Structure 1
């Protein structure tokens, strides 16, 4: 098998369970755990994520017996295992024997042992031991029938995403030499004639530590790329070992949703199953909206294949300033939202709530009160409910809209202070564009800027600051072929070496958009610019641009007031059989909803006339059946117009054309697959 033919998880139902840490409990508790797991419907647990010191007690001395017994107890209870390689953090004996493997921060301070991820990703000592431990685990347990999946490390980059130690510096130099070939190539790429930064020997180059002033932006961007690649190399060491020893078993590592530090497009290429850890904040009434974007990314990383929510909280977490518990029903709707968006299960951190350590106040499926705890009662009810949804396992989400996610542009616009404004946020812009589409009723996939775009009627590009010819060509070909593309501000500005494109923005996107950006016009703090669209005015509090529209571009909206009064703000160009739009401002959500409504109509897609941010509808489907999840994330009842005659899998009944969903209510409507996915709208009777 190759990376292109993913191995499937060894599980014949939706996954339900959580992280299990039996080494924190006496052995008699294990049997009680399995009894309660069976009662709750648990069929998968993750272990032993942080147990390296208990498994290898000193160099080369292993104690497997306790884990052998745990695995047998679980397997006897019919529970499969997402088996971790236990390499999430090093044991103390390894750190003390090799203190040089500890990471450094940007100020040159070595970070001490005492938390987790106490390692430099580039350390050859760490890499050697990681590969050895993975091999030991694979040889010991790789043939056990309980093992459903390999779980490599844990949340790469969560605590140490970048390291500035001497070993990382040497690795960075090797990475740069491989990228640029020689110093002339590096000096040209980095534009070193600015501020006298020319290098005449590789040893003169260091990671971008704290300096006397702004650091070269290309050096900063390359260090972000390098940091992601260094962790990817570390991941691949274990992938290669596991595929050598257990070629039939799938591998994963748990992602952390839309996470800046790691280019998940590249990580996902080397794993069989995408898994995610998601912790939307219960104190935020709209946390489900960015969660939907995160899940859109997860299902898109491997071309729409089902993924798995590997961690979430049953109630409160332990790491926010204020850790608000989940209200009754919130855990259920959060779990079913992930399944709606393509997850083939709902897993938690963790099974049994810890009594000590840093996470003793983090909620669990089985709370401190045991089976009397609210969290156990609610998770057990969810486990029973998931059995009703067995038919959705393996199905795929139907989406006609895609959003471009590009890590180079994210890194480049957030790593440097040498930009026209520090108020322009790639992440916030991306979330806001998604939120507008979410409000209008569309689940959104994500794509690279080079596609593939097949199957989508609308592609939106909130920001593509770093743009190359291949990306521009792919977007242009999509438009020529009949697609609708919407490009956001500050796109097409620089190439992959942070050089402004000849003629300025939009650089290689010029042929697609037929505009010129004469000058970015960021908005001063405390000020607001406005655009006029369809008889209404919308605020642009962060960013505007001086745009010149070409002969082939029509002006859809202009600025209203201020220096840019009357100048183009939104343009549209008919391009082949399709259309390319450009939005030269950062708009607040009501303005984005208006723009996306226009774009959806132009693409031939429906949009809700009335919007409610708490309403969400997502359809998963196989060849014969649509499974439409309708979710009410809000505190009040919603009345919805839905396709008549569908069967609600959660209620054992046929629904009428008007569906009433209580607060935090969910329906899963099964109906024969239609040419277009069902479109759910608010009924006129909803207040």
Structure 2
């Protein structure tokens, strides 16, 4: 079995992307001196260095990298060594211009950025295998090597190419998946609009068409593109496993739903030895710490609950948003330790030293342009000490309370054209439901719709437009066996080929919900509907309404106006030992919380009313004990009751009864007993 922890790393990981090739060699010794001062234990090296490592085809220059790795090893710093296959050299594209990707409009993108790759290109695949092989042969036994880092952020910025090479590869993929062209015609519904194919040779990628194209074809192309990227990762991974046994292999994910929507991370999580992730705050005025927590929970879930590693985030501002504010004092540590609370085995950054040139020269770094006489550097050093003090919790696992179902392929299908309302956004629903659970102080696992859900008292389905029959059976069994299920509208509608399930909506979820939907009635922009409960409690929905017909479900709230006036709006269905709730309109904020409060009662989840708003309380537990993280995102001190006494690992203070977390601060208590 491959190793699942970085080789030789005996502490939590702390460090960042190190790009010494951007600096004179005289700077390198200063770098490692400062790394030691900051408590750096791991750095990522060589990710964008193909042009330096192979300056001409088949000619290699490893001397500079030898010296870097030797210098790191001499100073007790481990290396996450990259295969530089995200950035082929200029000479490669000059020899193989057809390896540049083509967009759906037929335009071939140019060299001069990063990730400009046709992943179906045989020339690219061969060149990537060669440089990976050379690196593995040279550095497999290097004492600094802790981890292999394949490529960089697959799917960003190019996830799919539409060239003729990809067309041929797509046809091979379809033949392997479906066997015959008749099967493709069936699952794609090509009888509609006269799109029927006589042979595989007639099928091309879904390029730009006069109006909307075949949605099933587009969905399959997204699957194909994701599978193609994964094929290339696996090819490099297998080379590294063969030539460097005992060294784990990873690639950095971007599981934040706002930053990468082209990768099926459930599938990718099964292929890496260690799940790692890059996370950058989207500073759009919302509560950024909630999205951070959500992303960390998704990443941990992709890892199957096992410890994972935050491989990149920012010390302060980034450089690629419309507006890039700096992080407030203390926010860097708070963000970093929030990831650790939710399962990360450390905190890494992009990057070590801020670049003077290039597209990301205004992206913050551990060593900023201002140097060591700066707030950022002082906070980096302080964070390094904090991360070091948390070494006892290595290999423990975050304890979750509830599950949220999420499926990237369902999201892909939902994003296709001509849906009932462009205002319905699957990601928005996931964000909103997560925020509501966060505000109830519940720690969330994310789960695939076909996963084992038996360990969760409450399962929430914010948006599951594409629902397989297997997922429908899984959710029914979950409820029958005593679970509490909450489903939001426009879920259960189509199968894996974007074909509407036979019969009335909501298709695969009709039985578990105990209802049918006669008709969708999306609302116009700015419209709302009132929902009235039997006790007079009123909710407000927007974006969506439906004509719901109970088939065993009881009605809790009724539409008071709109087309479905007088019809059920929120229902509850008893099935076996459990219950299933259905919300047929878009509810948010207190209106959504009113329903979740009732569902939590059904699930036996007691309200955590004693915890302050925007103060996270998260547990990690394992053989070494139980650790409680208290993360105060507010501007006032907060008190949190503890189950048992313990010691704050960050301050050394012994705590009993209640813990005071100062404004903006983090406390991590190792509980006794």
Moved more, 66-75 or 224-233: 224-233
- Distance in 1, Cα, partners of 2:248 & 2:432: 35
- Distance in 2, Cα, partners of 1:217 & 1:331: 43
Q: Is the 8 A contact 2:644 2:672 kept in 1?
A: no
Distance 1:652 1:584, change over 3 A: same
- Distance in 1, Cα, partners of 2:273 & 2:359: 31
Partner secondary structure for residue 273 of structure 1 = coil
Q: Tell me the residue number matched to 1:374.
A: 375
Q: Tell me the residue number matched to 2:249.
A: 251
TM-score where L is the length of structure 1: 0.95
CA drift of 1:393 comes to 1.2
Distance 1:212 1:126, change over 3 A: same
- Distance in 2, Cα, partners of 1:338 & 1:444: 13
Q: Tell me the residue number matched to 2:537.
A: 536
Q: Is the 8 A contact 1:405 1:447 kept in 2?
A: yes
Q: Is the 8 A contact 2:648 2:667 kept in 1?
A: yes
Moved more, 302-311 or 463-472: 463-472
Moved more, 601-610 or 210-219: 601-610
Map residues 71-470 of structure 1 onto 2, 5 A cutoff. Answer: 71-258=69-256, 259-282=260-283, 284=285, 286-414=287-415, 416-470=416-470
Q: Tell me the residue number matched to 1:679.
A: none
Q: Tell me the residue number matched to 2:522.
A: 522
1:643 aligns with 2:649: no
Question: For each residue in 1:389-438, what CA deviation from the matched residue of structure 2 results, as whole angstroms up to 9, or x when unmatched?
Answer: 11111110111201111112100110x22211111111111111111100
Q: Tell me the residue number matched to 1:570.
A: 570
- Distance in 1, Cα, partners of 2:364 & 2:219: 38
Distance 1:78 1:337, change over 3 A: same
CA drift of 1:283 comes to 5.8
- Distance in 1, Cα, partners of 2:35 & 2:471: 49
- Distance in 1, Cα, partners of 2:32 & 2:537: 61
Partner secondary structure for residue 310 of structure 1 = strand
Partner secondary structure for residue 178 of structure 1 = helix
Q: Tell me the residue number matched to 2:43.
A: 45
CA drift of 1:562 comes to 2.1
Distance 1:613 1:219, change over 3 A: farther
CA drift of 1:644 comes to 5.4
Partner secondary structure for residue 365 of structure 1 = coil
Q: Tell me the residue number matched to 1:685.
A: none
CA drift of 1:239 comes to 1.0
Q: Tell me the residue number matched to 1:63.
A: 61
- Distance in 1, Cα, partners of 2:277 & 2:295: 9
Question: For each residue in 1:118-163, what CA deviation from the matched residue of structure 2 results, as whole angstroms up to 9, or x when unmatched?
Answer: 2111111111111111111111101112111110000011111111
Question: For each residue in 1:458-484, what CA deviation from the matched residue of structure 2 results, as whole angstroms up to 9, or x when unmatched?
Answer: 111112211122111111221122211
- Distance in 2, Cα, partners of 1:323 & 1:336: 22
Map residues 474-489 of structure 1 onto 2, 5 A cutoff. Answer: 474-489=474-489
- Distance in 1, Cα, partners of 2:69 & 2:199: 54
Q: Is the 8 A contact 1:538 1:588 kept in 2?
A: no
CA drift of 1:563 comes to 2.3
CA drift of 1:639 comes to 3.6
Question: For each residue in 1:15-41, what CA deviation from the matched residue of structure 2 results, as whole angstroms up to 9, or x when unmatched?
Answer: 000000000111111111000000000
- Distance in 1, Cα, partners of 2:623 & 2:428: 36
Q: Is the 8 A contact 1:117 1:160 kept in 2?
A: yes
Distance 1:255 1:376, change over 3 A: same
Backbone CA RMSD of aligned residues: 1.6
Identify unmatched segments of 5+ residues in structure 2.
none
Question: For each residue in 1:345-382, what CA deviation from the matched residue of structure 2 results, as whole angstroms up to 9, or x when unmatched?
Answer: 00000001111111111110011122112211111100
Q: Is the 8 A contact 1:639 1:660 kept in 2?
A: yes
Moved more, 585-594 or 438-447: 585-594
Partner secondary structure for residue 359 of structure 2 = coil
Q: Is the 8 A contact 1:295 1:338 kept in 2?
A: yes
Q: Tell me the residue number matched to 1:682.
A: none
Q: Is the 8 A contact 1:285 1:634 kept in 2?
A: no
Moved more, 655-664 or 354-363: 655-664
Q: Tell me the residue number matched to 1:499.
A: 499
Distance 1:170 1:612, change over 3 A: farther
- Distance in 1, Cα, partners of 2:596 & 2:249: 38
Partner secondary structure for residue 34 of structure 2 = helix
- Distance in 2, Cα, partners of 1:37 & 1:142: 24
Moved more, 647-656 or 228-237: 647-656
- Distance in 1, Cα, partners of 2:374 & 2:330: 15
Moved more, 12-21 or 205-214: 205-214
Partner secondary structure for residue 460 of structure 1 = strand
Q: Tell me the residue number matched to 2:11.
A: 13
CA drift of 1:223 comes to 1.2
Moved more, 334-343 or 470-479: 470-479
Partner secondary structure for residue 390 of structure 2 = helix
Q: Is the 8 A contact 2:392 2:624 kept in 1?
A: no
CA drift of 1:611 comes to 7.5
CA drift of 1:42 comes to 0.2
CA drift of 1:6 comes to 4.1
- Distance in 1, Cα, partners of 2:613 & 2:117: 42
Q: Is the 8 A contact 1:282 1:326 kept in 2?
A: no
Q: Tell me the residue number matched to 1:629.
A: 629
Distance 1:308 1:284, change over 3 A: farther
Question: For each residue in 1:194-241, what CA deviation from the matched residue of structure 2 results, as whole angstroms up to 9, or x when unmatched?
Answer: 111111122222211111111111111111111111111111111111
- Distance in 2, Cα, partners of 1:84 & 1:487: 42
Q: Is the 8 A contact 1:208 1:219 kept in 2?
A: yes
Q: Is the 8 A contact 1:450 1:470 kept in 2?
A: yes
Q: Tell me the residue number matched to 2:587.
A: 587
CA drift of 1:610 comes to 7.1
Partner secondary structure for residue 491 of structure 1 = coil
Q: Tell me the residue number matched to 1:680.
A: none
CA drift of 1:649 comes to 1.8
Partner secondary structure for residue 376 of structure 1 = helix
- Distance in 2, Cα, partners of 1:521 & 1:224: 29
- Distance in 2, Cα, partners of 1:600 & 1:652: 37
Q: Is the 8 A contact 2:255 2:265 kept in 1?
A: no
- Distance in 1, Cα, partners of 2:6 & 2:65: 25
Q: Is the 8 A contact 1:286 1:613 kept in 2?
A: no
Moved more, 571-580 or 24-33: 571-580
- Distance in 2, Cα, partners of 1:408 & 1:644: 43
- Distance in 2, Cα, partners of 1:360 & 1:275: 24
Partner secondary structure for residue 621 of structure 1 = strand
- Distance in 1, Cα, partners of 2:454 & 2:246: 31
Question: For each residue in 1:628-657, what CA deviation from the matched residue of structure 2 results, as whole angstroms up to 9, or x when unmatched?
Answer: 111111333334344352322222223343
